[in-house]
């Protein structure tokens, strides 16, 4: 409901008392007028209702197998989908959505994760790698494909500076559209908002799902629609192998009139820590491993297959009409709450407390879709995440996975690859971002690769 501007707003203190936030009333009283006004303005914007009602996983009683296009089915129908998708790319109906607003806590660097120099020979960053995939696609098509890049308040300024210093890595200013996501306050176990310092709430970016609201609020979704963009290929900045030039994905979305396509992988093992694609009550859902019991994730059906078989590598295609439909209906993605050790300002000092952080998840869009499908992909071709500084899902594992994929592409064009242990191949996306681009561009001059190298 619109507020009548003639009616004065109730005092913030009244609002805070109603919400059980008396500690903030006391804190406001200790602040200088300017700091008090700033904090009051922020507190007025908080959606207390959504904060106090975090999302709950769907009831798993009406479980059915999700509709997933398997690798076997792709063999038969993939060529037709790819033709359709290629047509959509050629007509300028596809844009790329790259989310990069996360805090990168596990990687443990000061700068945004996208600035991490990942590639083994060139030292290219994750940002450059993802940007060059879009440049390469645009060159192939002969027109600029928009790249929508979501940052958060902490990563926005350094991300803009990073791209500006590199002249957008070849993306035109019109093509690269950086927009910033919102934040959500953290709370203690009783739901009281925590502070980061005097006059400042402890907040975090509102999750990858924040891209839905931010796309709408920044005006980017309307702009895409006006430009005739029908499909958004969604990737995350930390997946080195995330494809953006994917006619089969887009073509499947077009052919099936789907609102969402979710790429899936058979889980590497029953306990793999991934989101699981499930169908409940006729709608697709992704349920995080944290929301399933260890018995559930290991359960097998009569065919011996895991019931929760499909893991999500966080790769999607969304129809922009779908996003616009939800935006018009005022849809908001729910918050998920998780218990975390947090650095909060308590009793005049910053110290570690156990609190609750809330985030929106992109995959909560799935249950809203009337038509939603899974698409099986090969892990070794599309998924090389950088989450941790060392060990599993680290820069080291990601570049090894990328090198192994480039080696297979090179072998497919007739190159003999015999690398010594530890040696890595790096292939610039500007030379080839897909196997089929490599086939078209490869001039056959190199016949053998026996040491680590950069091909560009």
Residues found near ligand UTP in the complex (CB under 6 A): 99-106, 113, 150, 152, 181, 205-208, 210, 236-238, 359, 387
Distance CA 199, CA 441 (A): 57
Distance CA 334, CA 358 (A): 9
Distance CA 238, CA 394 (A): 10
Distance CA 397, CA 388 (A): 10
Measured from the CB atom, the residue of 100 and 326 that comes closer to ligand UTP is 100
Query: Got the DSSP string for 395-449?
Result: HHHHHHHHHHHHHHHHHHTT-EE-PPTT--EEE-TTT-SSHHHHHHH--S---EE
Q: Closest approach of Cβ 127 to ligand UTP, in Å?
A: 11
Q: What are phi and psi of 422, to 5 degrees?
A: 85, -15
Distance CA 432, CA 412 (A): 13
Distance CA 232, CA 177 (A): 14
CA separation, residue 435 to residues 64, 136, 142, 245, 391 (Å): 35, 13, 19, 11, 28
Q: Closest approach of Cβ 184 to ligand UTP, in Å?
A: 9
Q: Closest approach of Cβ 156 to ligand UTP, in Å?
A: 11
Q: Closest approach of Cβ 446 to ligand UTP, in Å?
A: 34
> Would you say 98 and 147 are in contact if contact means Cβ atoms under 8 Å apart?
yes
Point out which residues pair with 354 in neighbouring strands. Answer: 341
Residue 140: which of 455, 432, 402, 456 has the closest Cα?
432
Distance CA 93, CA 109 (A): 36
Measured from the CB atom, the residue of 15 and 95 that comes closer to ligand UTP is 95
Q: What are phi and psi of 437, to 5 degrees?
A: -65, -40
Measured from the CB atom, the residue of 338 and 450 that comes closer to ligand UTP is 338
Measured from the CB atom, the residue of 99 and 176 that comes closer to ligand UTP is 99
Distance CA 160, CA 130 (A): 15
Measured from the CB atom, the residue of 230 and 387 that comes closer to ligand UTP is 387
Q: Closest approach of Cβ 235 to ligand UTP, in Å?
A: 8
Residue 398: which of 379, 413, 415, 385 has the closest Cα?
385
Point out which residues pair with 319 in neighbouring strands. Answer: 231
> Would you say 366 and 286 are in contact if contact means Cβ atoms under 8 Å apart?
yes
Residue of minimal CB distance from ligand UTP?
Answer: 102
Measured from the CB atom, the residue of 208 and 276 that comes closer to ligand UTP is 208
Residues in the chain: 456
Q: Closest approach of Cβ 313 to ligand UTP, in Å?
A: 11
Q: Closest approach of Cβ 102 to ligand UTP, in Å?
A: 2
Residue 185: which of 174, 195, 199, 173 has the closest Cα?
195
Q: Closest approach of Cβ 236 to ligand UTP, in Å?
A: 3
User: In a 3-state reduction of DSSP, which class is residue 358?
Assistant: strand
Q: Closest approach of Cβ 433 to ligand UTP, in Å?
A: 18
Measured from the CB atom, the residue of 132 and 393 that comes closer to ligand UTP is 393
Measured from the CB atom, the residue of 208 and 309 that comes closer to ligand UTP is 208
Q: Closest approach of Cβ 186 to ligand UTP, in Å?
A: 13
CA separation, residue 447 to residues 416, 417, 438, 443 (Å): 6, 9, 14, 10
Residue 408: which of 439, 385, 386, 371 has the closest Cα?
439
Q: Closest approach of Cβ 103 to ligand UTP, in Å?
A: 4
């Amino acid at each position: 409901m619109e507020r009548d501007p003639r009616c004065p707003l109730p005092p913030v203190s009244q609002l805070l008392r109603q919400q059980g936030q008396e500690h903030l009333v006391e804190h406001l009283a200790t602040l200088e007028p300017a700091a008090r006004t700033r904090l009051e303005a922020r507190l007025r914007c908080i959606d207390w209702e959504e904060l106090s009602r975090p999302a709950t996983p769907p009831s798993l009683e009406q479980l059915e197998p999700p509709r997933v296009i398997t690798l076997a089915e792709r063999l038969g129908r993939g060529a037709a989908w790819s033709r359709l998708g290629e047509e959509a790319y050629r007509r300028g109906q596809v844009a790329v959505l790259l989310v990069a607003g996360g805090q990168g806590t596990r990687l443990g660097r000061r700068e945004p994760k996208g600035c991490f120099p990942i590639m083994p020979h060139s030292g290219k960053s994750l940002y450059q790698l993802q940007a060059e995939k879009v440049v390469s696609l645009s060159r192939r098509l002969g027109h600029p494909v928009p790249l929508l890049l979501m940052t958060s308040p902490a990563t926005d300024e350094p991300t803009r500076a990073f791209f500006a210093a590199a002249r957008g890595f070849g993306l035109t200013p019109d093509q690269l559209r950086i927009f910033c996501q919102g934040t959500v306050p953290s709370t203690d176990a009783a739901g009281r908002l925590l502070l980061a310092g005097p006059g400042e709430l402890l907040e975090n970016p509102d999750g990858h799902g924040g891209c839905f609201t931010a796309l709408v609020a920044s005006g980017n979704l309307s702009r895409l629609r006006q430009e005739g963009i029908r499909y958004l290929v969604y990737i995350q900045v930390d997946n080195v192998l995330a494809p953006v030039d994917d006619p089969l994905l887009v073509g499947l979305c077009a052919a099936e009139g789907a609102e969402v396509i979710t790429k899936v992988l058979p889980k590497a093992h029953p306990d793999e820590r991934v989101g699981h694609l499930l169908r409940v009550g006729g709608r697709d859902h992704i349920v995080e491993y944290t929301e399933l019991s260890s018995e559930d994730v290991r359960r097998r059906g009569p065919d011996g297959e895991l019931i929760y078989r499909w893991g999500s590598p966080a790769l999607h295609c969304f129809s922009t009409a779908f996003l616009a439909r939800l935006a018009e209906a005022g849809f908001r993605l729910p918050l998920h709450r998780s218990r975390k050790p947090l650095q909060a300002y308590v009793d005049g000092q910053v110290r570690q407390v156990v609190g609750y952080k809330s985030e929106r998840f992109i995959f909560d869009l799935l249950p809203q879709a009337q038509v939603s499908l899974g698409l099986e992909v090969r892990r070794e071709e599309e998924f090389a995440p950088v989450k941790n500084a060392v060990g599993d899902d680290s820069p080291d594992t990601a570049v090894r996975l990328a090198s192994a994929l480039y080696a297979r592409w090179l072998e497919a064009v007739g190159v003999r690859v015999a690398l010594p242990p530890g040696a890595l191949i790096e292939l610039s996306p500007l030379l080839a971002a897909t196997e089929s681009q490599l086939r078209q561009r490869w001039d056959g001059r190199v016949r053998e690769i026996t040491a680590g190298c950069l091909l560009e």
